Structure 1
Amino acid sequence: MAHGHTNTEARAAHPQASALKTGLLLTLLALLLAAPFFLYPIFLMKLLCFALFAAAFNLLLGYTGLLSFGHAAFFGGAAYFTGHAVKVWGFPPELGILLGMAGAAVLGLVMGLIAIRRQGIYFAMITLALSQMFFFFCVQSSFTHGEDGLQSIPRGHLFGFINLSDTTNMYFFVLAVFLIGMALIWRIVNSPFGMILKSIRENENRAISLGYSVARYKLAAFVMSATLTGMAGGLKALVFQFATLTDVTWQMSGEVILMTLLGGIGTLIGPVFGAGIVVTLQNYLATSDFPVTIITGVVFMACVLLFRRGLVGEFYASRIGRSLGFNPEK
């Protein structure tokens, strides 16, 4: 009887939890829509770009269990591809971002085919090595303009008539792309394909014994993560109107790992919060005498010691989070 009573309570709590999640999402959306009228829009756009970057990276680390040290290649590569297409070839911004995503997907396929043969730290080191090779290519290539980078990238007109030089228009365009990217990640994670990725993360040998081609699923996840990272990189190039070597350095790969771990790996919204913390620290400490990297490192150490699952992950695992019906992977 007690067991049946518990099941009845769980079923009764489920609609309430769903309503709460919907309410929180609508509140967050309302805040994002109102934010540019109260906060600096460029800061908000940077935050959204890096939040999408972290969420795309988490698709690989959090849901497939693969740690990549080379995601800066997709982020910076897409920034260069989009910037070149828009500035030199005269592409409209929406096609420029799509080209950046396509370029990142090709890079992801090439790197994935090489790296996916290894596991653990060997996989991470191979992605780092390949990313550094791409960095040196960008240093010497003519289309990236080396250390000068691509500058004065025009934002252009969205669909031919929406002027993105207007900061408000650009913000809502960035917000729309961010929401599309997050919706795609949510769909991937909650699809049968996403369930198989989670099973590979939890027990790869069992997934192999069930007949799944694990290497193909890993490669598909790697390419999807690279493509969505390219979406963030192309968007960032249009926001700041330049693409530089900073976007393809190994430090950028480390930064996105930090964002994901701070928020909580394996949670959909965690990397967004992690990106928000890191970008906010960088923004508000940039003009102070405090060294940004040291402060960020201290925050990361505190998070690792006190919040092993990340901020959002710990909340989901807490008694309050469980009572509200939160699932770490949704």
Structure 2
Amino acid sequence: MIVAEDYETVADSRRSHPAQRVLVLALIGVLLLLPLWVYPVLLMKLMCFALFASAFNLLLGYGGLLSFGHAAFFGGAAYVTAHALKVWEINPEFAILTGVGAALGLGLVIGLLAVRRQGIYFAMVTLALSQMFYFFCLQAPFTHGEDGIQGFSRGKLFGIVDLADSTTLYYFVAAMFVASLFAIWRIVHSPFGMILQAVRENEQRAISLGYSVQRYKLGAFVMSAGFAGLAGSLKALLFQFATLTDVNWHMSGEVILMTLLGGIGSIAGPIVGAGLVVTLQNHLATSGFPVTTVLGATFIVCVLLFRRGIVGELRHRLPAWRRK
């Protein structure tokens, strides 16, 4: 069980640590050099899911809202982006913006219905609406049912940069990934983010102070949907297809697993969790060993040994280790 002390406090989140700048520069340097040693497609897949998990963490870790339907935004944006590239034949940047816009609109509709509920009722409403969207994608003509949308070109960025080259696409995805993480960090450390964390800690006190709690929840829900949509759009651009797998409830469960493994309420936690899950899936895909069994065992070990997630537990224990 996650309690209030496991989160980053409002006071702590306003402090500026020089180590944060070093970590950002180190992250950028690593992203620039990693394609020299690691397959770029695997790295891009990891960044897409890390962004998806970070978007979910914005809602759960900082807003305290557990959604079981985030696959709707991820997969919906992937479908719209794929359709825009294949049928409308527009530039990839406009296709991505179209997908993100669709995710924002869908997030607004679902959010308006869901934020009126709390706890498990909120989670069940998001799951139900997400499954409704899944069946819409199954029946809608433009999604091509179980075949999905595939066989489209990545196009040229701004009409100049050809994204058919994996290395070029990698640096574009990496730039979008870093920019999105910075945007999430700014949101979390903005006055909006401070109030959102106050709502997470004590909703009744926030209401007594005069804040419109539902508006802040809805804002967080829509922004989380937008970032999840961006992740889905980038994934569709990377693999050049969008299928029902992207909107299935299993995808919602997968992003929850990634976020909990890494640790909620931190920027680094979802990235670590997504990296762990994607790496396990990649290495076990051709081994014949059931991937779900390994992921389940990994989650059990994490629950037993890392109650706050990997990053959360390290952050909690590091001061004690330093004192020793």
Query: Shorter-normalised TM-score: what interval?
Result: over 0.9
Q: In the alignment, what sits opposite 1:327?
A: none
Q: In the alignment, what sits opposite 1:305?
A: 304
| Residues 160 and 295 of structure 1: CA distance in aligned 2, closer, same or farther (over 3 Å) | same
Q: How does 1:1-330 map to 2 (within 5 A)?
A: 18-320=17-319
Return structure 1 stretches of 4+ with deviation > 2 angstroms: 17-25, 319-324
User: Helix, strand or coil: the match of 1:22?
Assistant: helix
* TM-aligned CA deviation for residue 247 of structure 1: 0.1
* TM-aligned CA deviation for residue 180 of structure 1: 1.2
* TM-aligned CA deviation for residue 269 of structure 1: 1.0
User: Deviations for 1:213-258, whole angstroms, at most 9, x for unmatched residues?
Assistant: 0011100100000011000000000000000000000000000000
User: Deviations for 1:52-86, whole angstroms, at most 9, x for unmatched residues?
Assistant: 00000000000000000000000000000111111
* TM-aligned CA deviation for residue 19 of structure 1: 3.3
* TM-aligned CA deviation for residue 320 of structure 1: 3.9
| Residues 58 and 321 of structure 1: CA distance in aligned 2, closer, same or farther (over 3 Å) | farther
* TM-aligned CA deviation for residue 278 of structure 1: 0.2
Tell me the amino acid that sits aligned with residue 315 of structure 1: L
* TM-aligned CA deviation for residue 322 of structure 1: 8.8
- Structure 1 residues without counterparts, runs of 5 or longer: 1-14, 325-330
* TM-aligned CA deviation for residue 321 of structure 1: 8.0
Identity in percent: 65
- Structure 2 residues without counterparts, runs of 5 or longer: 1-14
CA contact (8 A) 1:316 1:322 kept: no
Name the CA distance, whole Å, in 2 between partners of 1:214 and 1:323.
39
User: Deviations for 1:98-156, whole angstroms, at most 9, x for unmatched residues?
Assistant: 11010000100100011111100010001000000000000000000000000012110
Name the CA distance, whole Å, in 2 between partners of 1:66 and 1:321.
30
Aligned length: 309
* TM-aligned CA deviation for residue 37 of structure 1: 1.5
Question: Normalised by the size of structure 2, how large is the TM-score?
Answer: 0.93
CA contact (8 A) 1:153 1:237 kept: no
Name the CA distance, whole Å, in 2 between partners of 1:158 and 1:19.
35
* TM-aligned CA deviation for residue 26 of structure 1: 1.8
What is the root-mean-square deviation in Å for CA atoms of aligned residues? 1.5
Name the CA distance, whole Å, in 2 between partners of 1:231 and 1:80.
12
Q: In the alignment, what sits opposite 1:328?
A: none
Name the CA distance, whole Å, in 2 between partners of 1:320 and 1:164.
45
Tell me the amino acid that sits aligned with residue 86 of structure 2: K
* TM-aligned CA deviation for residue 187 of structure 1: 0.7
* TM-aligned CA deviation for residue 319 of structure 1: 3.3
Name the CA distance, whole Å, in 2 between partners of 1:144 and 1:228.
22
Q: In the alignment, what sits opposite 1:3?
A: none
